[in-house]
Amino acid sequence: MVKPSKSPSFESAVSELESIVQEMENSQLPLDQALAAYQRGTTLLRQCQDVLSKAEQSIRILETSDTEAPSA
């Protein structure tokens, strides 16, 4: 279940995270597999939060630029 450490795209990270959550909710994984899945899930969650935070910052910069631009 554990994937390579290369950062996936936001969409694939969310998809994998949903898959991990579903697997953990619907099955009785052995402890070592459950722990590995949980660790992978927390890594993906942090990556998604980072991407969303950067996107939010970009939007704020764009909104600030739009309000400071002179009207035509």
Per-domain boundaries in the chain = 10-66
Domain 10-66 -> CATH class: mainly alpha
Asked whether the CA dihedral 51, 53, 57, 59 is positive or negative, the reply is positive
Segment 5-58, tens digit of pLDDT: 577 899 999 999 999 999 999 988 899 999 999 999 999 999 999 999 999 999
| Length reported for the chain | 72
> What pLDDT score was predicted for residue 7?
78
Q: How confident is the model at residue 3 (pLDDT cuts 50, 70, 90)?
A: low
- What's the rounded Cα separation, in Å, for the pair 39 and 59? 30
Average pLDDT over residues 64-68: 81
| 12 secondary structure, DSSP code | H
- What's the rounded Cα separation, in Å, for the pair 47 and 34? 20
Non-local (6+) Cβ contacts of 48 within 8 A are: 10, 13, 14, 17
